[in-house]
Structure 1
Amino acid sequence: MSNNRSFKISRVLVAIVFMMAGQSAFAQKWLPGYFIDVKGNKTDGFIYPNPGGKGPIQGEGFINFKESEKAEPYSLATSDLQSFVAGKDSFVVAHAPGNETWNKQEFDFVRVALNEEIKIYATRGAGSGGGGGKKIHVSPGVGIGAGTYGAAYGGGLGISLGDSGGGNRTKLTYYYGGNTATMRHLTDENFRDIMSEAMGDEPEVVAQIQAGKYNLRSIEKLIQYFNKVKAADKR
């Protein structure tokens, strides 16, 4: 009798584990969020920012979207959108600046890493590399905060721009500007001046930047620190 009871308990535990694994798999693929279309309309639902395969329009990045968990998904190219928010991170449509291309794509989505008067954008699509093109990977982490077109969702996942097709990791590139049309490269040489100006409303943070406590390789930690100080000031 005891063995039979133990067997039933084990089956229940196994079922719970599989259920949790299924929920985790869904979370890694689809994130709650919304998109803003080219006409400025907002649509809530679930976004899969790394669908893979060929997009609906050649030379453009795309996402998959569905209005509910059980709804039929469909693809949206950059031509369809102004921006989208998935999980905690915000993305906007951008054209590769100057003579650059982003893995053979004219238009793609860039993450809004810092949403101040001077914005910081991030992408792994920089350069003219081939392969499968840029992919946006979902990963556990701390979100960057409010998006360009509104507050981001507060789920437990954020989005990081992951490796390029074939698994070859490409360098994460940062840009700065008032908007995507004026983006310029953030470099080791201009980092201290640009970030001090972008975060000028928080003297405590600027002092750390000027003291050399942060650089281009630790920019995400700097942004988290800035958001923490800014949130504390609003209390």
Structure 2
Amino acid sequence: MRSILIILFFMLCFVSAKSQKWQPGSFTDVKGNRETGLIRTNPPGKGPIKDEGFIEFRENEKNNPYKLSASDLRSFVAGQDSFVVAHAPANESWTKEETDFVKVVLDEPVKLYMAKGGKGGGGSGFGISPGVSAGYGTGGYGGGVGGGIGINLGGGGGRGSSKTTYYYGESTAGMKRLTDENFEDIMSDIMGDEPDLVDQIHEHKYNIKSIDKLVAKFNELQKARQ
């Protein structure tokens, strides 16, 4: 049992260390200007603006980094992951950062977003669920793992919450929470281009707990069509 705990400890340390690394990426500011360089996830220290998520950026390894608050940006990309700026939906409260970033999991007409509370870095942190990746870095989005991203979901709980929550909508302005009750209808709508997969959703082969597998299968089918 002790050896297992030691292994888990080192795995967590590895994931934490990885999240601290600089990644190739870009950001798009509120004026639509796009800058390419390096983005660091979970940077130390406080963000530029209170109650906002933030990232850290530098043009190259020789340049000094600087922090960008969520309200400075439209979106950003780090690695293969894409994120957009979002505010808590009207019927929810994000208890720490009311202006933050959510990951674009599927960039369809009705988009699928993901937010995950987590502890770490200067601004808390944003965790990525294994197997869920936006898989693109173009278009109007940016992406990455937000350095100061610390959404505390559902209006309760502590800063260290690790609950993953999914949202859907044509944009973040009108996004709503994905639930067990609406999962079948919403995911069938999002994945309408893959009728066989939609049938499997209606046959209850997937649910919100296995959404990472569903997204991976959808991406696999979409890639095969290209």
Match of 2:51 in 1: 59
Once the two structures are superposed, the pairs formed by residues 191-202 of structure 1 within 5 Å of their partners are: 191-202=183-194
What are the ranges of 5 or more consecutive residues in structure 2 without an aligned counterpart? 1-16
Change (3 A) 1:183 1:139: closer
The code of the aligned residue for 1:62 comes to F
Match of 2:212 in 1: 220
Match of 2:11 in 1: none
Match of 2:8 in 1: none
Q: TM-score, normalised by structure 2?
A: 0.78
Change (3 A) 1:77 1:71: same
2:5 is aligned with 1:32: no
- Report deviation, 1:54: 1.2
The code of the aligned residue for 1:64 comes to E
Match of 2:84 in 1: 92
Match of 2:94 in 1: 102
Change (3 A) 1:41 1:145: same
Match of 1:188 in 2: 180
- Report deviation, 1:115: 0.7
Cα pair 2:77 2:83 within 8 Å, conserved: yes
- Identify which range, 94-103 or 30-39, moves more after superposition: 94-103
What are the ranges of 5 or more consecutive residues in structure 1 without an aligned counterpart? 1-24, 127-131
Change (3 A) 1:61 1:74: same
2:39 is aligned with 1:47: yes
Change (3 A) 1:28 1:53: closer
Counterpart-to-counterpart distance in 1, 2:145 and 2:201:
25
2:123 is aligned with 1:122: no
| CA root-mean-square deviation | 3.1
Cα pair 1:29 1:138 within 8 Å, conserved: no
Cα pair 2:87 2:100 within 8 Å, conserved: yes
- Report deviation, 1:163: 9.5
Counterpart-to-counterpart distance in 1, 2:93 and 2:123:
11
Change (3 A) 1:200 1:141: closer
Match of 2:68 in 1: 76
- Report deviation, 1:109: 0.6
Cα pair 1:102 1:125 within 8 Å, conserved: no
Counterpart-to-counterpart distance in 2, 1:75 and 1:151:
19
Q: TM-score, normalised by structure 1?
A: 0.75
- Report deviation, 1:62: 0.3
- What number of residue pairs does the alignment pair up? 202
Counterpart-to-counterpart distance in 1, 2:19 and 2:124:
21
Counterpart-to-counterpart distance in 2, 1:75 and 1:49:
11
Counterpart-to-counterpart distance in 2, 1:103 and 1:167:
9
RCO greater where, 1 or 2, for CA within 8 Å and sep 6 or more?
2
Counterpart-to-counterpart distance in 1, 2:177 and 2:210:
16
2:163 is aligned with 1:171: yes
